[in-house]
Amino acid sequence: MSRLADKRILLGVTGGIAAYKAAELTRALRAEGAEVRVAMTRAATAFVAPLTFQALSGQPTHLDLLDPAEESAMGHIRLARWADAILIAPATADFIAKLRAGLADDLLSALCLAAEAPLALAPAMNQAMWSNPATRDNVACLEARGVRLFGPAQGAQACGESGFGRMLEPADICREAADLFAPACLAGLSVLVSAGPTREPIDPVRYLSNRSSGKMGYALTRAALAAGAKTTLVSGPVALEPPRGAELARVESAAEMFEAVLGAAPRHDIYIGAAAVADYSLADVAGHKIKKRDEVLSLVLTRTRDILATVAALPKPPFTVGFAAETDRLEAYARQKLETKGLDMVAANRVGAGLGFDRDENALRVFWRGGEACLPTAPKSHIATQLIELIAERYLAKNST
């Protein structure tokens, strides 16, 4: 049965061209068994008629904050209390800014301010508006308050430009909405996540690193928190807002990540090593900027300490989950990593040729002794929820025998 079955979803529609997708989203949510009520801003009615949502939801469409028929009984409060979750799709840059400021000058913004249910946004706007520092700051603030973000996706836009800002497709939003009701499968447990890249200094201005954005590790941190776990995040240098509720330790180098993870691992039940840790670092770091003189510059590298293997070899190790990012022979290398490092589970994904790094979607093959699972391509937040549920299942199986 779908997690959305019998759930009450308040769908907010704001004034953007992607409002037409909200009609299909209404249909999709109802197909999953959800009861849907729609609240529109006045700007949204310029794109889609309220009657459309009334026909698709089977309920009157809500428009006005000061509707005498509703407000005689404080209708906006009753509607806010009715919802199991509030989903704004599309969420325009204007509406995101209003939410950040806590304004309540129309029905939908008042509902969001009065609500105690989870709130999720599916942004939709021009790519330049999405990347504008004001929008980025507004989004970071809302995420820090616990607001969930579904997307946006990257691609062609109605204005003729291309980039991040497209609203996710209705099927993807439905998947993300279902994750709002994921069970608290890690309640009472503690989870340690490492995420992002490391930087290995060459001289005071240069370093060796990789293309990891940290998005998967941060998504896993949010999923672990949503599953009820007390969660610690050890993060390499990334341009991401820390998940609210997680204990955060920031590091730069592989050596710093080793010390932070090994210092925290003994007091956690589960360790998820999602960081892309450098395998090698400089044998000698120059104390001054290396000048461009010779045609060939040789750097001597030495192996870094293996965090995953060391955690798995602790006297009382946490349930240890590793990641394997591979360009070829995915299963063979993942199973080898599982055995040689003594892991409980390994999550493997392909990278290169537009896969893996710097993307909002992922696909995983997960291996453990005696079993495996395939998590097909989906937003990283959805993949993270699925993986956390799988980790909880395997953790319980290991500790109940």
Q: Hey, where are the domains in the chain?
A: 8-179, 190-399
Please give the CATH architecture assigned to the domain spanning 8-179.
3-Layer(aba) Sandwich (3.40)
- Alpha carbon 295 to its chain centroid, in Å, reads 44
Active site residues: 159
Q: Confirm whether 8-179 and 190-399 share one CATH topology.
A: yes
Six-digit token string for 305: 């300490």
DSSP string across 126-192: -HHHHHSHHHHHHHHHHHHTT-EE---EEEE-TTS-EEEEEPPPHHHHHHHHHHTT---TTTT-EEE
Digitized pLDDT (tens) for each residue of the chain, 401 residues in all: 688 999 999 999 999 999 999 999 999 999 999 999 999 999 999 999 999 999 999 999 999 887 665 555 466 788 999 999 999 999 999 999 999 999 999 999 999 999 999 999 999 999 999 999 999 999 988 987 889 888 888 888 888 888 889 999 999 899 889 888 877 899 999 999 999 999 999 999 999 998 888 999 999 998 999 898 999 999 999 988 788 789 999 999 999 999 999 999 999 999 999 999 999 999 999 999 989 888 898 999 999 999 999 999 999 999 999 999 888 899 899 999 999 999 999 999 987 665 556 677 888 999 999 999 999 988 888 899 999 999 999 999 998 86
CA distance 38 to 338: 48
- Alpha carbon 67 to its chain centroid, in Å, reads 37
Q: What is the pTM of this model?
A: 0.74
The pLDDT of residue 154? 83
Are 48 and 23 within 8 A, CB to CB?
yes
CA distance 119 to 213: 25
Which CATH topology does 190-399 take?
Answer: Rossmann fold (3.40.50)
CA distance 172 to 63: 26
3-state secondary structure of 243: coil
Question: Which secondary structure element, helix H or strand E, spans residue 193, and what is its range?
Answer: strand 190-195
* Contacts of 365 by beta carbon, 8 Å cutoff, 6+ apart: 330, 331, 334, 347, 348, 349, 372, 373, 374, 375
CA distance 166 to 226: 26
CA distance 290 to 206: 9
Question: Which secondary structure element, helix H or strand E, spans residue 221, and what is its range?
Answer: helix 215-226
Are 217 and 194 within 8 A, CB to CB?
yes
Six-digit token string for 193: 């996540």
Burial 270-293 (b: 16+ CB within 10 A, else e): bbbbbbbbbeebbeeeeeeeeeee
CA distance 169 to 372: 29
Strand partners, 276: 197
The pLDDT of residue 388? 95
Output the furthest CA–CA distance in the chain (Å, rounded).
Answer: 81
CA distance 334 to 134: 42
